[in-house]
Structure 1
Amino acid sequence: MKLKWSDWVLGVVTVNIRGGQPERLVNRALEGGLQLASIGWTGDGKLQFDVSVSDYFRLKPFLKETGCRAHVVRRQGMPFWLVKLEKRKFFIAGLALFFIGIYVLSSLIWSVEVKGNVKLTEEEIVEAARQEGIFPLQWSFRLADTDIISKRLVNKLPKATWIGVEKKGTRIIIQVAETTEPDHRELENPRHLIASADAVVTEIYTERGRAVVKKNAKVKKGQTLISGTLGGGAYTQTVVAKGSVRGIVWYEFNIASPMSQQVKVYTGEKKQKWYVVIGGRALQVSGYGKNPYEQSETIVEEDKANWKSISLPFGRMKQTVMEVHTEERKLSADEARAGGILQAKANVMSKAGSDAVIRDEIVLHEKTENGKVYMKVLFEVEQSIVKEMPLVQMQGD
């Protein structure tokens, strides 16, 4: 039976009639003003109908008159729903607390994001926003209108021409447009570009000044590559020489590479510690005691709570303390040689610059002695060979 709203509020029961005179019972009940619905016979030959809770209690005299007995097989409506709720107090209380918690969490500001800032630091903007009441764990309803906050922030931060404040759920997004200032270039004195090392020129590009060497030319350290002097005689002019020059430079390294190395090995033994994280603080809840291992490595995993797409300022953290021990690993001569050359290449790159390219490596001498491989290696490197040299201008009387 599909209940009407009024029927659901009053409550309806479905009744099976046993014994007596069921047809006469129905007639007498209807004559007595009772509202019966869905009257019919069940598969096992019993009369069944739906009746409101109030009419069910008025059915008793008619049952007695007709010699019938009533058995309730289904209960529907608010009165029975309330009885079920009465039996589930803790569930209802938990459900209520859940919705209250959701409401409270959604009424707080959980994060403040700053976008568009270049010259202004995020700390400056966040501090100004804090003074206007925008900070994590602030109640949303305590904030002023976003247009008002935007104007106040512009007054507090003169370097910003416009600041937009937008509230998205539990996030506040502060969009900053900064004032555009002309670039203040430092004054540069006239100069030459000279070679920083002995080299063979592989590439030269002159932006300003006069190139005095060509590609494939051998140059000495300190030799002028791009001159800052133009013209001659009375028409001499000095400029700030600009350009790029690359060349082949040679580096010689003496390498002593050991044929054994200490390696770290995990034993499989470990100990775990769990923490509850609230804000920037962590409270340990398990895994108490000192570190039982002589050598160990600690791996930290933090898992923050999330609600929808928002990261909440609490969660849990796991620290896994893993036992390790050190073993000595023997290397072959080839492995020791490769390790030594790799380390030498790293040293070459640190000296030659990040844009350098190692073109070739030549082993000039090699011997194995006292558990080490000794080598003299020559590296051929293509790199920038430019160095600035200021021009001193002579002034006459």
Structure 2
Amino acid sequence: MSGQGANWLKGMVTVHIRGGQPEQLVNRALAGGLQLSSIRWTSSGLLEFELSVSDFFGLRPYLKETGCRVHVTKRRGLPFLLVKAERRKLFAGGIVLFFALIFMLSSLVWSIEVQGNVKLTEEQIRLAAKQEGLYPMQWSFRLADADILSKQLVRKLPGSTWVGVEKKGTKVIIQVVESTIPEQASLQTPRHLVASADAVVTEIIAEAGRPVVRKNTRVKKDQILISGTIGGEEFSRTVVAKGKVRGLVWYEFEISSPLVQHVKVYTGEKKTKWFAVIGSRALQVSGYGDNPYSSSEAIRHEEKVSWRNWSLPIGRMKETVMETRMEDRKLTEEEARSTGILQAKAEVLIKAGSNAVIRDEIVLHEKADNGKVYMKVLFEVEQSIVKEMPLVQMQGE
């Protein structure tokens, strides 16, 4: 061990000598086997030197012989550090507890993320992982090696060809690669494509089968659009008709829209609560008391502690409870009319399908009575107008 390291372990003090015969003190102490170092005169005329704690107590007889007095100006080394720690037990214990808690929290699996699954559900994968000891709040050192976990999960998850397990901080990522099985083409019987509603054809594309109507043709419901019978009378055969047919369809709606709406508004009054978050648990630390509002809405915002690429499962959460009340909002007849038509359009598109487009709207009748606006509206919608009809059914007729 180096001299400085040994001195630090023994503890060193720096002293000033006052009165008496300082030179004689130094000479007699050195002759008596004491180890003095950094001996010098200070600017104020005092003799200064360093010595170990054990030699400091051996200095007493020489002080009496020379009539000198000693004053300690500096202390350094392990003995003095231990004395400070003894005086600050709670502080030192808190530091040790803090780092122990951080170590424990970082040694737990706090969250599991599943990626790459399509056919396998996340619940299936999590259940298989739990059977292998991989689940939230599990100690990291109790987990098997990633390669072993991967092989076990592949065995437990039918339809998977590879499963990767990767630990990032307190989070474990399970990456699943599923086997691809080519879909078998379903057996289909020959069929026609017929009109699903009365309409005017705007577009017709036959992929298989024979188109029997043209663009701008008016068709009736159940009328054949693309026939599944092709060829002449002597050499005809049946196929599965396929294609795309769009047309204009009309929907008539009776709408009643109120002139007074009940809406929720914020009053501006609010109450804030703070929570300490550890994992999935939240401990309230401020904003105690019952909710003072008869009607309210709570908005939560959570912040997690992060360091570099590590996201620790501890943090804080702010919950703002905002007072609300219901108010009556008066609409003009035009506003009520627009609101009613928008609601009707939404219902039309639900009926007509996701690829439908509203081309026109005609108000057939409108009146205001008893606090409402009543309307009869005709919507012109372009949509798919095909449905299937098996040829067996046609032959049976």
Indicate how the Cα distance of structure 1 residues 393 and 353 shifts in structure 2: closer, same or farther if over 3 A, else same.
closer
- Aligned to 2:234, what secondary structure does the other structure show? helix
Alpha-carbon distance, 1:78 to partner: 0.5
Partner residue in 2 for 1:139: 139
- Aligned to 1:392, what secondary structure does the other structure show? helix
Q: Does 1:233 align with 2:223?
A: no
Q: Which of 345-354 and 152-161 deviates more?
A: 152-161
- Name the amino acid aligned to 1:299: A
Contact 2:110/2:279 (<8 A) preserved? no
Alignment of 1:191-340 (within 5 A): 191-268=191-268, 287=288, 295-299=294-298, 301=300, 303=302, 308=307, 309-310=310-311, 312=313, 322-340=322-340
- Aligned to 2:392, what secondary structure does the other structure show? coil
**For 1:12-63, what per-residue CA distance to the aligned partner results, in whole angstroms no more than 9, with x for missing partners?**
1111222233344334433443333233333333222222212222223333
Contact 2:105/2:312 (<8 A) preserved? no
Alpha-carbon distance, 1:323 to partner: 4.4
Once residues 311 and 99 of structure 1 are traced to their aligned partners in structure 2, the CA distance between those partners, rounded to angstroms, is 13
Indicate how the Cα distance of structure 1 residues 42 and 281 shifts in structure 2: closer, same or farther if over 3 A, else same.
closer
**For 1:271-300, what per-residue CA distance to the aligned partner results, in whole angstroms no more than 9, with x for missing partners?**
6777787877778887565x665x523425
Q: Which of 114-123 and 321-330 deviates more?
A: 321-330
Alpha-carbon distance, 1:355 to partner: 1.6
Partner residue in 1 for 2:59: 59
**For 1:295-337, what per-residue CA distance to the aligned partner results, in whole angstroms no more than 9, with x for missing partners?**
523425374765654463x877776655443322211122111
- Name the amino acid aligned to 1:181: I
Indicate how the Cα distance of structure 1 residues 166 and 301 shifts in structure 2: closer, same or farther if over 3 A, else same.
same
- Aligned to 1:234, what secondary structure does the other structure show? coil
Indicate how the Cα distance of structure 1 residues 297 and 389 shifts in structure 2: closer, same or farther if over 3 A, else same.
farther
Alpha-carbon distance, 1:188 to partner: 1.6
Q: Which of 93-102 and 328-337 deviates more?
A: 93-102
Contact 1:203/1:215 (<8 A) preserved? yes
Indicate how the Cα distance of structure 1 residues 118 and 246 shifts in structure 2: closer, same or farther if over 3 A, else same.
same
Indicate how the Cα distance of structure 1 residues 102 and 243 shifts in structure 2: closer, same or farther if over 3 A, else same.
same
Once residues 192 and 157 of structure 1 are traced to their aligned partners in structure 2, the CA distance between those partners, rounded to angstroms, is 43
- Name the amino acid aligned to 2:22: P
**For 1:331-372, what per-residue CA distance to the aligned partner results, in whole angstroms no more than 9, with x for missing partners?**
112211111111111121111112222222233333333332
Indicate how the Cα distance of structure 1 residues 275 and 56 shifts in structure 2: closer, same or farther if over 3 A, else same.
closer
Once residues 13 and 276 of structure 2 are traced to their aligned partners in structure 1, the CA distance between those partners, rounded to angstroms, is 52
Contact 1:273/1:288 (<8 A) preserved? no
Indicate how the Cα distance of structure 1 residues 292 and 98 shifts in structure 2: closer, same or farther if over 3 A, else same.
closer
- Name the amino acid aligned to 2:142: R
Indicate how the Cα distance of structure 1 residues 347 and 155 shifts in structure 2: closer, same or farther if over 3 A, else same.
closer
Once residues 321 and 230 of structure 1 are traced to their aligned partners in structure 2, the CA distance between those partners, rounded to angstroms, is 70
Once residues 218 and 191 of structure 2 are traced to their aligned partners in structure 1, the CA distance between those partners, rounded to angstroms, is 22
Indicate how the Cα distance of structure 1 residues 85 and 365 shifts in structure 2: closer, same or farther if over 3 A, else same.
same
Once residues 118 and 78 of structure 1 are traced to their aligned partners in structure 2, the CA distance between those partners, rounded to angstroms, is 62
Once residues 193 and 394 of structure 1 are traced to their aligned partners in structure 2, the CA distance between those partners, rounded to angstroms, is 12
- Name the amino acid aligned to 1:131: Q
Once residues 281 and 91 of structure 1 are traced to their aligned partners in structure 2, the CA distance between those partners, rounded to angstroms, is 27
Contact 1:296/1:321 (<8 A) preserved? no
The alignment's TM-score, normalised by the length of structure 1, stands at 0.85
Contact 2:358/2:381 (<8 A) preserved? yes
Once residues 91 and 277 of structure 2 are traced to their aligned partners in structure 1, the CA distance between those partners, rounded to angstroms, is 28
- Name the amino acid aligned to 1:347: E
